[in-house]
Amino acid sequence: MGNLKLLGLKKSPWVFHLAAAACNNCDIEILDILTPRWDVERFGIVLVGSPRHADALLVTGVINRKTLPRVLRVYEQTPKPCLVIAVGSCACHPHIFESSYNVVGPYDKHIPVDVYIPGCPPKPEAIIMGVVKALKRL
Amino acid sequence: MRRVVPIGPYHPLQEEPEFFKLIVEGEKVVDLEINIGYNHRGHEYISPTLTWDQVPFLVERICGICSDSHPYAYVLAVEDCAHIEPPPRAKYIRTIIGELERIHSHYLWLGLAGHFIGYNTVWMWVWRYREPLLDLFELIMGNRNHYAINKIGGARRDIKPEDYPKIEKYLDMLEKKNAMFTKAILDDPVIRARLEGVGILKKEDAIAYAVTGPTARGSGYAIDVRKDDPYDAYDKVDWDIVVGKDGDVLAKAVVRLLECDESIKIVRQCLKNMPDGPIETRVDGIPPGEGIGHHEAPRGEVFHYVRSDGSNMPVRHKVRAPSFMNIASNVVAVKGYSIADATLVLAAVDPCYCCTERTMVAYEDGKEKYTGKDLLQLSWKKTERLRERYRK
């Protein structure tokens, strides 16, 4: 059953965009890949409004104490198997925010992450490449 | 009968996590509660652990949309503290980048506003013309966002003379497109019907809530740091404050569009009068003292305060972002409109939650005024109060 879903996922992944405590920049670049220059909707990649409809989570930003329970809840709501794609340096590692009292670490400490896309913010090409690599692994 | 419509923290409306509680009677919004803090990362805490020159990279990451404004205000604050005068060329470069960023930010808002009213054509269209600007940023500074142009005592990168024609070419294109967008928005009956007379923020309310930026100017309150307290090259160029009249969402949209025209004017003049010379001065430490700096970000006045004890790190760094005041004005702007309009009204101030989220500790007679326990007590009391209110 899992394999069947993964096969379907390859064709037209629906993504839910989850910003923990991001600076908005990766989020804007994610929106950017939907606009005419990159237009990923050609490949069937659509941003959906609810994690329950999503095949993949695009996660951005560091996780702080207030967003951690919400992030876990959104992850639980996403139908499995799902892809988790960490967009941006903050999602891969807290880096500059590591010494903060409110930051509870990167995503992979709390939920399984499939693909890491570093960059502050990653260029839209890099985000598309990350998604393609994630799909190729299936 | 009062009901609560929760929006957030993760919802398809806005990019960042934030939580709104719309209290409605039927379709009508009668009250609004705003709960933020999902984006708090503790910048003011991290800042004193970094050196003076590292802090611009940190404050840049407060917000990704106005990522020039925070370092700009910070370097102005440090230069105020250390009495550093950057060379004229650096001042012009900073002004140009500040204004180009305003265009990119206003276009971003306009596109999202189109998205919020279900007019995705506007979104795709506007962002198409925002894209070449990001290419320009990459050309000048090496990154599409987070460009780190500001440096204490100057600018980090020079704009090469061979790049001037590329900027000019973009501005020529943008001027035509901006006129087209202004006309499209004013002429389109559907957009007008959705934006006109919605989310009115009266001038008195704008003053009472101390809103800044296009939110204040849309309500007819002519306040602009670039004019009121000019810094860098803003007093050497000729431009006007754009002021709206009605305070509705249409007025705010028009103010932003016309402001892009003014920005084009400023950049053109700066490019024309750009002086030659070095782009940075030598900085030999920051003497003890304190300094303030403010910059007119695309959303309003951003204010930074730094205190130095003569070491290589700031002792205290305080940030006040424009959205902090603007978001509070939503409470009056959204009252009396339908839930369908609330989407747009809440986004009309161009909110930026990651800018806003600061915490503070109040001291009284050398003791913390509220400890964690006290805050918990306060929170419980508020729940009780609200329970009473909704029981009615």
Q: What is the CATH number of the domain that holds A123?
A: 3.40.50.12280
Cα separation, A33 vs A136, in Å, equals 19
Residue A6 counted as domain residue: no
Nearest CA in chain A to B55: A96
- Examine the domain organization and report whether B318 and B375 are in the same domain: no
Residue B33 counted as domain residue: no
Cα separation, A124 vs A31, in Å, equals 9
Return the pLDDT at B360: 66
Give the DSSP letter string of B279-345.
SB-------SEEEEEEEEETTEEEEEEEEE-SSSSEEEEEEE-THHHHHHTHHHHSTTSBHHHHHHH
* Cβ-defined contact of B127 to A32 (cutoff 8 Å): yes
Amino acid symbol at B303: F
Please name the residues in contact with A81: beta carbons below 8 A apart, sequence gap of 6 or more: A2, A5, A6, A9
Domain that holds residue B168: 41-323
The secondary structure of residue A45, as a DSSP letter, is -
Considering only the beta carbons, identify the residue of A35, A101, A103 that sits closest to B127.
A35
Q: Which residues of chain B have pLDDT under 70?
A: 12, 360-362, 392
What does the pLDDT look like over A56-74, one tens digit per residue?
899 998 998 888 988 999 9
Chain B contact present for A42, CB below 8 A: no
Checking if the pLDDT of A10 tops 80, the result is no
Residue A3 counted as domain residue: no
- Examine the domain organization and report whether B226 and B133 are in the same domain: yes
Nearest CA in chain B to A73: B10
Count Cβ atoms below 10 Å from residue B58 Cβ, excluding itself: 20
Residue A59 counted as domain residue: yes
* Cβ-defined contact of A100 to B9 (cutoff 8 Å): no
| Domain count for chain B | 2
Residues of A in contact with B352 (CB under 8 A): 24
| Domain count for chain A | 1
Considering only the beta carbons, identify the residue of B16, B41, B123 that sits closest to A97.
B41
CA A127-A131-A135 angle, to 5 degrees, is 165
- Examine the domain organization and report whether B113 and B243 are in the same domain: yes
Residue B151: phi and psi, rounded to 5, are -145, 145
Residue B301 counted as domain residue: yes
Return the pLDDT at A5: 65
- Examine the domain organization and report whether B260 and B366 are in the same domain: no
Residue B8 counted as domain residue: no
Q: What is the CATH number of the domain that holds B101?
A: 1.10.645.10
Out of B323, B349, B371, a domain closes at: B323
* Cβ-defined contact of A36 to B127 (cutoff 8 Å): yes
- Examine the domain organization and report whether B366 and B255 are in the same domain: no
The residue among A40, A27, A29 whose CA lies nearest residue A131 is A40
The residue among A59, A95, A137, A61 whose CA lies nearest residue B354 is A61
What does the pLDDT look like over B344-362, one tens digit per residue?
888 888 888 888 877 766 6
Write down the pTM of the prediction: 0.91
Residues of A in contact with B37 (CB under 8 A): 66
- Examine the domain organization and report whether B265 and B379 are in the same domain: no
- Examine the domain organization and report whether B271 and B381 are in the same domain: no
Domain that holds residue A40: 12-137
Residue A64 counted as domain residue: yes
Rg (CA), chain A: 14
Return the pLDDT at A1: 44
Residue B342 counted as domain residue: no
Considering only the beta carbons, identify the residue of A17, A48, A102 that sits closest to B41.
A102
Checking if the pLDDT of A45 tops 80, the result is yes
